[in-house]
Amino acid sequence: MCIERDSGEQPRELLERFALGDLEAFEALFQGCHRDVYKWIVRIVRDSAVAEELTLETFWRIHRARARFDPARSFGAWARRIATNLALDHLKTVRSELMPLETPARDPSGGMMADPVRQGEIRQRVAHALHQLPAKLRVAVILALIEEEPYERIAAALGISIGAVKSRVFRAVRKLREELKRAGIEP
Amino acid sequence: MSEHHDEKLRELLREALPPVAESEVNRDLWPQMLRRFDQQKLRLSWFDWVLVAALMIWLWFFPEATAALLYQL
């Protein structure tokens, strides 16, 4: 696993060759890491075709920025940071594919019903509420609450402090609750 | 906000958007990466095109300079 480990995952000699522009070294890093980069991106964008394209773009940027890479640092962490920025940019530019839901879905009993149709509706409203969040908050919620990534890793990937990640998750949860309350769902 | 309510919200989120931890790349992406390299090699910036155009105009008006240019190359 390339980007799952935060240090020492690639031989120093390979990283030095990569930084000097050796294409074989870059290919070795690509072959060793692109699956992990893809897995990370697909967790955020949740679309395999987009994730593949962003994985290629990540490695393209990695190659272009090779001269600025310090072989003493973690290649995986660097790759994850670039991949996260690209995924975040993608979320900012792509609008939600879900249609806005106007009518509140009231549950007379106040709880969740076992009706599959109703459950499907609730899932759709929750997904809609999540898509209404600003991209920065959405990424924090997806990684922290859905994918259950450690705050430390999320912070490193986003280039912010752990406190800032917690703050984003807190703000996102508050907004989600408000949005879901408007839709007649009280988690 | 109680922990119970947080857990309920988390459950709702995970039901609406299940985790995708098991997703894998379906194909070899390296050939596409190589294609990007090839495209980059062929791509000329607008400044390069301006230089090429200026050179052609220069050679049109001063064809005798061709020999000097080839000597410099």
pLDDT for B27-70, tens place per residue? 889 999 999 888 877 667 788 889 999 999 988 998 888 888 88
Whether A126 sits inside 8 A of B16 (CB atoms) is: yes
Whether the predicted pLDDT of A107 surpasses 70: no
Q: How confident is the model at residue A5 (pLDDT cuts 50, 70, 90)?
A: low
Question: Nearest CA of chain B to the CA of A146: how many Å?
Answer: 5
The listed range with the strongest mean pLDDT (A11-15, A154-158, B4-8, B60-64) is A154-158
Q: How many CA atoms lie within 13 A of A115 on its CB side?
A: 9
H or E segment to which residue B57 belongs = helix B46-61
- Which has more confidence, A184 or A110? A184
Question: Nearest CA of chain B to the CA of A152: how many Å?
Answer: 18
The Cβ of residue A68 has, within 10 Å, a number of other Cβ atoms equal to: 8
Residues of B in contact with A147 (CB under 8 A): 19-21
Nearest-by-Cβ selection for B13 from A38, A124, A126: A126
Nearest residue in chain A measured CA to CA from B33: A56
Percent of chain A with pLDDT over 70: 84
pLDDT score for B32: 93
Question: Nearest CA of chain A to the CA of B36: how many Å?
Answer: 8
As a whole number, mean pLDDT of residues A36-44 equals 93
Whether the predicted pLDDT of A168 surpasses 90: yes
Residue listed under structure tokens 């906000």: B1
Nearest one of A179, A85, A97 to A130, comparing CA atoms: A179
Q: What is the dihedral angle through the alpha carbons of B47, B53, B57, B60, rounded to the nearest 10 degrees?
A: 140
- Give ipTM to 2 decimals: 0.72
Q: How confident is the model at residue A100 (pLDDT cuts 50, 70, 90)?
A: very low
pLDDT score for A77: 92
Render the burial of A4-14: b for 16+ CB within 10 Å, e for the rest.
eeeeebbeeeb
Q: Which two structure tokens, joined as six digits, stand for A161?
A: 């402090």
Residues of B in contact with A145 (CB under 8 A): 9-10, 13-14
pLDDT score for A170: 95
Residues of A in contact with B39 (CB under 8 A): none
Nearest one of A85, A97, A95, A112 to A180, comparing CA atoms: A112
Question: Nearest CA of chain A to the CA of B14: how many Å?
Answer: 5
Global pTM value: 0.77
Nearest one of A84, A148, A50, A135 to B13, comparing CA atoms: A148
As a whole number, mean pLDDT of residues A56-73 equals 94
CA distance to A6, A7, A24, A69, A186, per residue, from A20 (Å): 22, 20, 11, 10, 56
Distance, CA of A164 to chain centre: 16
Residues of B in contact with A35 (CB under 8 A): 24-25
pLDDT score for A121: 85
Q: Give the separation between CA A152 and CA A149, rounded to whole angstroms.
A: 8
Nearest residue in chain B measured CA to CA from A146: B14
Q: Give the separation between CA A137 and CA A60, rounded to whole angstroms.
A: 27
Q: What is the mean pLDDT of chain A?
A: 86
Whether B23 sits inside 8 A of A127 (CB atoms) is: no
Q: What DSSP assignment string belongs to A51-69?
A: HHHHHHHHHHHHHHTGGG-
Any chain A CB within 8 A of the CB of B35? no
Q: Give the separation between CA A93 and CA A95, rounded to whole angstroms.
A: 6
